[in-house]
């Protein structure tokens, strides 16, 4: 026996030590015992056996289908087990099952290695790291290959030393984290979608929110929390390495749609919403991941972040769940509507998934919660007060310019009926929010995404409120119309726009100018752009009104 380990669990745990520990110095032997005590304190014995149990259960489950096919081949006449299993269906099934088994192994080993780091950090808390440096800096083991690293139970000595010296490294998400979480989320999304379709109304329309919420929770816990902890450790407005991990997260969701076991034998039919989902869903996940990173950056820079509170953890869980659930739901709705149109399918599907969506109330409410949650830390950030208020001032300026242009200018081509009027008001508010978001991204790069989460909805709601007030006497139920027609539709459309903008903006570096001329010129340019956008909207005729 070369290494110490733990048996039992809870109060009935035993630490088994190798004989060679007697040859070590007292502080080094104590470090080993403290490490094993860290495993006991964290309940790692139970977690390890649970992880291994999942792996041991997965193999029999995957073998059930071919076993049943072989038994049928043995019992039925005119066929044999070999003939049954030689069908191309089972070759495809084997590839998909192999991918899932590899993912299960990677997840299990990731958990094992993370627990070793956690035990090291628990043991070294309040202690000098010198004993661990003496233990781990001995004869260097042979260099590991990439597959040795992936299947190893323990991290390398060098990695353990690096994490002990800088514990924040343990909090940072990795490419492997992104690949595993994204793939599992996509597989879960497809599985729950199929079950929900059967158990609910039998249509994919009612199954979409259920499957999106399930996979969104997985992404929120598995990815959103990791990015948040990383942002807190860095105390940075953006998390630069995470920008590249967003792409890995999106690619892995596409892989998850392809390797699902339910798709065996029907690959040519595409994914659950058709082949477009294979492109739209990964892009939506990349956009949601960028917004999640930007939101985490806002909260990491606010005042009073020395200790994590339960309110902060709850906020992160709720906001990340809304971001990822909304992104998945929008992608599924978009692909569903994409099949309905021959002319301009992308534009019309985006309008039906956003401002004209039957579920616009849920999407608008989700964006409102995210906006309020983003505004709170932004207004309490560490920037000077003038800098903190600049996104809000930009939103107010864009809203005033957009509403004034809409009310003051009415070309002949503008729809004269009441439905066309309120839809143009909604699209005007949507233009204001879009211009505000683009302005903040142009001014700050990816650092502007977090501020766009509250400033763009602010510009949208202010614009639509001014237009509603101007036509107050024309509404039969004005207050109900403000909430359930104007604000609801405009915010639902803005959710689509912000998600689309976040895909490219999340890959940009964060920048900012301290020059007063630039900081003044950009909002002025935003006002001019808003006026031009509203003028173009009013000359668009019925193109955006779905008539």
CB atoms within 10 A of CB 370: 23
Nearest 5°: phi and psi at 129?
A: -85, 5
Give the Cα separation of 244 and 252 in Å (integer): 13
Residue pair 232/254 in contact by the 8 Å Cβ criterion: no
The whole-number pLDDT of residue 329 equals 95
Alpha helix positions (H), 125-174 = 130-136, 146-151, 157-165
DSSP H helix total and E strand total for the chain? 21, 2
Written as tens digits, the pLDDT of the chain (547 aa) is 567 777 776 667 777 778 777 777 777 787 888 887 877 777 777 777 777 777 778 888 888 888 887 887 777 777 777 777 777 778 878 888 888 888 888 778 877 887 787 787 877 777 777 777 777 776 566 566 666 666 677 777 777 777 777 777 776 788 888 888 998 899 889 888 888 887 776 667 778 899 999 999 999 998 998 888 888 777 644 444 567 889 999 999 998 888 877 666 555 555 666 788 889 999 999 999 999 999 988 887 764 445 567 788 899 999 999 999 999 999 999 998 888 887 778 888 998 998 988 889 999 999 999 999 999 887 765 555 545 678 888 899 999 999 999 988 876 555 556 677 888 899 999 999 999 999 999 888 888 899 999 999 999 999 999 999 988 887 788 888 888 888 999 999 999 999 999 999 988 887 765 555 456 677 788 889 999 999 888 877 666 766 5
**For the segment 373-423, what is each residue's pLDDT rounded down to a tens digit?**
999 887 765 555 545 678 888 899 999 999 999 988 876 555 556 677 888
Dump the DSSP string for 179-240: HHHHHHHHHHHHHHHHHHHHHTTSSHHHHHHHHHHHHHHHHIIIIIHHHHHHHHHHT-SS-H
Q: What is the pLDDT of residue 138?
A: 62
How far apart CA 180 and CA 173 sit, in angstroms, is 11
Cβ contact 456:396 at 8 Å: no
Q: What are the angstrom distances between the C-alpha of 396 and each of 146, 353, 530, 538?
A: 53, 27, 12, 21
Q: For residue 349, count other CB atoms closer than 10 A to its CB.
A: 22
Nearest by Cα to 525 from 416, 413, 401, 426: 401
Q: What's residue 239's pLDDT?
A: 46
CB neighbours (10 Å) of residue 230? Answer: 22
The token pair at 524 is 């002025």
Query: For all residues of the chain together, what is the average pLDDT?
Result: 81
Q: How far apart are CA 317 and CA 293, in angstroms?
A: 13
Coil, strand, or helix at residue 355? Answer: coil
445 - beta bridge partners?
510
Angle between helices 310-338 and 345-353 (to 10 degrees): 140
State the pTM of this model: 0.82
Q: Is residue 245 a contact partner of residue 175, using CB atoms and an 8 Å limit?
A: yes
The residue with tokens 């809304």 is 322
Between CA 500 and CA 350 the distance in angstroms is 10
Contact status, residue 375 vs residue 386, Cβ threshold 8 Å:
no
- pLDDT for position 483: 85
Q: Mark 412-421 as b/e (b = at least 16 C-beta within 10 Å).
A: eebbeeeeeb
From residue 130, give the alpha-carbon distance in Å to each of 31, 34, 141, 274, 480: 10, 14, 20, 58, 67
What is the token pair recorded at 432?
A: 């204001």
HSE of 371 in the Cβ direction (CA atoms, 13 Å)? 25
At 381 the pLDDT is 58
The answer to whether 54 and 109 have CB atoms below 8 angstroms apart is: no
What is the SS3 string spanning 406-417? HHHCCCCCCCCC
- Pick from 216, 219, 241: nearest CA to 230: 241
Report yes or no: 471 and 410 within 8 Å, Cβ to Cβ. no
Which has the closest alpha carbon to 121: 45, 48, 38, 43?
38
Select from 165, 330, 328, 171 the least CA-distant residue to 235: 171
Residue 240 φ/ψ, nearest 5 degrees: -55, -50
């Amino acid at each position: 026996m070369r290494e110490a380990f733990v048996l039992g669990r809870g109060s009935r745990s035993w630490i088994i030590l190798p004989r060679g520990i007697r040859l070590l110095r007292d502080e080094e032997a104590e470090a080993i015992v403290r490490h094993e005590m860290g495993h006991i304190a964290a309940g790692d014995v139970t977690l390890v056996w649970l992880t291994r149990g999942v792996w041991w259960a997965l193999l029999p489950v995957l073998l059930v289908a071919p076993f049943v096919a072989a038994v049928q081949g043995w019992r039925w006449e005119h066929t044999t087990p070999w003939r049954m299993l030689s069908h191309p269906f089972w070759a495809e099934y084997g590839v998909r099952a192999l991918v899932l088994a590899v993912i299960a192994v990677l997840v299990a080993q990731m958990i094992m290695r993370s627990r070793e780091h956690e035990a090291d950090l628990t043991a070294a808390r309040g202690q000098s790291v010198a004993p661990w440096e003496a233990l781990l800096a001995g004869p260097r083991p042979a260099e590991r290959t990439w597959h040795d690293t992936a299947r190893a139970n323990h991290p390398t000595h060098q990695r353990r030393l690096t994490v002990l010296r800088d514990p924040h490294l343990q909090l940072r998400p990795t490419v492997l984290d992104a690949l595993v979480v994204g793939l599992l989320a996509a597989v879960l999304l497809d599985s729950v979608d199929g079950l929900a379709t059967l158990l609910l109304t039998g249509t994919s329309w009612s199954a979409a929110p259920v499957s999106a919420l399930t996979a969104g929770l997985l992404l929120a816990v598995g990815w959103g929390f990791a990015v948040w902890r990383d942002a807190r450790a860095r105390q940075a407005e953006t998390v630069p390495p995470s920008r590249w991990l967003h792409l890995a997260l999106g690619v892995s969701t596409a892989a998850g749609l392809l390797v699902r076991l339910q798709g065996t034998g029907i690959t040519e039919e595409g994914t659950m919403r058709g082949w477009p989902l294979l492109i739209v869903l990964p892009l939506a996940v990349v956009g949601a991941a960028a917004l999640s990173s930007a939101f985490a950056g806002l909260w990491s820079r606010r005042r009073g972040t020395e200790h994590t509170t339960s309110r902060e953890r709850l906020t992160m869980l709720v906001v990340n769940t809304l971001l990822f659930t909304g992104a998945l739901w929008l992608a599924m709705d978009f692909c569903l509507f994409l099949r309905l149109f021959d002319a301009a399918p992308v534009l019309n599907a985006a309008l039906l998934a956003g401002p004209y969506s039957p579920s616009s109330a849920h999407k608008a409410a989700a964006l409102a919660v995210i906006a309020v949650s983003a505004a709170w830390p932004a207004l309490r950030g560490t920037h000077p007060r003038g800098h903190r208020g600049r996104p809000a001032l930009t939103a107010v300026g864009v809203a005033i310019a957009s509403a004034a242009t809409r009310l003051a200018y009415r070309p002949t081509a503008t729809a004269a009926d009441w439905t066309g009027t309120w839809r143009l008001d909604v699209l005007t508010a949507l233009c204001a929010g879009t211009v505000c978001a683009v302005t903040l991204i142009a001014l700050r790069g990816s650092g502007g995404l977090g501020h766009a989460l509250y400033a763009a909805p602010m510009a949208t709601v202010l614009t639509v409120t001014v237009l509603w007030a101007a036509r107050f006497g024309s509404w039969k139920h004005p207050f109900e119309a403000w909430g359930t027609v104007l604000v609801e539709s405009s915010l639902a459309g803005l959710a689509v726009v912000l998600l689309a903008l976040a895909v490219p903006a999340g890959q940009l570096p964060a920048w900012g100018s301290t020059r007063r001329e630039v900081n003044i010129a950009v909002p002025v340019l935003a006002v001019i752009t808003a006026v031009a956008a509203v003028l173009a909207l009013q000359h668009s005729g019925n193109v955006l009104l779905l008539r």
